[in-house]
Amino acid sequence: MIKRYEQNGDPFGSHRVVEPAGVLPQPSEKLNNDMSVLWDNEIMVDVEMLNIDSASFTQIEEEAGGNTDRIKEIIQETVRLRGKQHNPVTGSGGVFIGKVAEIGEKLAGKRDLQAGDTIVSLVSLSLTPLKLQEIQRVNPDTDQVNVSGQAILFESGIYHALPDDLPSRLVLAALDVCGAPAQTAKLVRPGDTVVIIGAGGKSGVLCAYEARKRAGVTGTVIGTGRSEKGLENIKKLGFCDHLACLDASDALPCHETVSRLTGGRLADVVINCVNVPNTELGSILMCKDGGRIYFFSMATSFTKAALGAEGVGKDVEMIIGNGYTRGHAAITLEIIRESEAIRRLFESSYCG
């Protein structure tokens, strides 16, 4: 229950930063997650579910040895210590779904939002003040965690109202990665050869669909992955001209395979969607000189990418996976509405 209202909150949320002083919420070590206080430009949300980002959940699951009770403990401890779900190893977070509890007076009436609306956050949990009362259930197959708690969205924070024509679990899963297909739509041009690394995963499937749509009949889409199950999923969808079982952390086979499939031309665009480290050079070697690489993976190392490209003499444009691009949520939800096959796949994965 809110006991105190504060005025003149910073639009970017710096008033919630505990340490270190002078930084914004995302890079901070700790946020003030006191939910008895609401600033005039904050939105308080009763959180129902977290979608932990793939890189973070994989790391947590490995640390926990696959034990779901231990996964709960790790998440609770992170939130207790940091005031947010900001994985100290991967540096990443995820998104949440919940119902709006209260809107600060500075924002009231200025947004198409009211108390009781169900929304999905489109900003990372790594910058979102969060307090958890309980974790009821962990689903390792979907990276989703049922919780009871509260979260704060700042004035600069973005969100999307839960649509009434799609299941909530599916929407939460899709919007966690909505930056990837939206950026793919911007990067891929008609006739391009596109490689999707991790094509069988959630973001990979969405990117493959968008790459196929944008590259057109004159383009080529190549999907790679380590999982036979994932590759089988993407094969059934029919978005890729070629599929290759490759470990993206093993750079030379990546180069050899894509070179063979493209007659030595390599890729115009490489989209990296995997959640494991050391895939930077594999991505670089699959891309032609003058091509573009989009590192959506939160496991990407800027140092390895920059120095790796220099070391192999590759003149490529490398784009950090900004999770936001204008219209990203709408683009992603429209993909699911357009593609009955993707909808069925995601419903079987996230709504079962």
Write a three-state SS string for the chain. CCCEEECCCCCCCHHHEEECCCCCCCCCCEECCCCCEEECCCEEEEEEEEEECHHHHHHHHHHCCCCHHHHHHHHHHHHHHHCCCCCCCCCCCEEEEEEEEEECCCCCCCCCCCCCCEEEECCCHHHCCEEEEEEEEEECCCCEEEEEEEEEECCCCCEEECCCCCCHHHHHHHHCCCHHHHHHHHHCCCCCEEEEECCCCHHHHHHHHHHHHHHCCCCEEEEEECCHHHHHHHHHHCCCCEEEECCCCCHHHHHHHHHHHCCCCCEEEEEECCCCCCCHHHHHHHEEEEEEEEECCCCCCHHHHHHHHHHCCCCCEEEECCCCCCCHHHHHHHHHHHCHHHHHHHHHHHCC
Mean pLDDT of 138-153: 96
Residues 250 and 190 in one domain: yes
**pLDDT over threshold 90, residue 228:** no
Domain's final residue, options 162, 192, 223 = 162
The mean predicted confidence, pLDDT, of the chain is 95
Mean pLDDT of 54-81: 96
Per the CB < 8 A criterion, the answer to whether 62 and 68 are in contact is no
**pLDDT over threshold 90, residue 335:** yes
Residues 323 and 253 in one domain: yes
* pLDDT for the residue 92: 92
**pLDDT over threshold 90, residue 352:** no
Per the CB < 8 A criterion, the answer to whether 98 and 145 are in contact is no
* pLDDT for the residue 4: 85
Residues 331 and 191 in one domain: yes
**pLDDT over threshold 90, residue 110:** no
Residues 112 and 233 in one domain: no
User: Tens digit of pLDDT for each residue in 251-280?
Assistant: 999 999 999 999 999 999 999 999 889 999
What is the distance between the alpha carbons of residues 333 and 321, in angstroms, rounded to a whole number? 19
Residues 132 and 56 in one domain: yes
What is the distance between the alpha carbons of residues 40 and 103, in angstroms, rounded to a whole number? 8
User: Tens digit of pLDDT for each residue in 3-35?
Assistant: 888 999 999 999 999 999 899 999 999 999 999
User: Tens digit of pLDDT for each residue in 147-179?
Assistant: 999 999 999 999 999 999 999 999 999 999 999
Residues 337 and 195 in one domain: yes
**pLDDT over threshold 80, residue 300:** yes
52 beta partners: 94
Mean pLDDT of 212-229: 95
Report residue 126's pLDDT band, with 50, 70 and 90 as the boundaries: very high
> Residue 103: which of 41, 165, 32, 23 has the closest Cα?
41
* pLDDT for the residue 229: 84
In terms of C-beta density within 10 A (0-12 exposed, 13-18 middle, 19 or more buried), how is residue 260 classed? exposed
Per the CB < 8 A criterion, the answer to whether 316 and 195 are in contact is no
Per the CB < 8 A criterion, the answer to whether 212 and 241 are in contact is no
Report residue 323's pLDDT band, with 50, 70 and 90 as the boundaries: confident
* pLDDT for the residue 296: 93
Amino acid present at 7: Q
In a domain, 264, yes or no: yes
Per the CB < 8 A criterion, the answer to whether 66 and 32 are in contact is no
In a domain, 168, yes or no: no
Residues 102 and 237 in one domain: no
In a domain, 308, yes or no: yes
Buried b / exposed e over 208-238, threshold 16 CB at 10 Å, is bbbbbbbbeeebbbbbbbbeeebbebbeebe
Q: Quote the percentage of the chain above a pLDDT of 70.
A: 100
Per the CB < 8 A criterion, the answer to whether 1 and 11 are in contact is no
Residues 68 and 143 in one domain: yes
State yes or no: cis peptide before 253, omega within 30 of 0: no
In a domain, 173, yes or no: no
**pLDDT over threshold 90, residue 298:** no
Residues 154 and 195 in one domain: no
Mean pLDDT of 321-328: 88
The mean-pLDDT minimum among 87-91, 170-174, 226-230, 305-309 falls in 226-230
> Residue 222: which of 252, 186, 183, 263 has the closest Cα?
263
Look up the domain containing 147 and give its range: 4-162
In a domain, 24, yes or no: yes
In a domain, 174, yes or no: no
Name the domain count of the chain.
Answer: 2
Mean pLDDT of 137-150: 96
Instruction: Give the CATH number of the domain where residue 183 resides.
Output: 3.40.50.720
What is the distance between the alpha carbons of residues 106 and 282, in angstroms, rounded to a whole number? 48
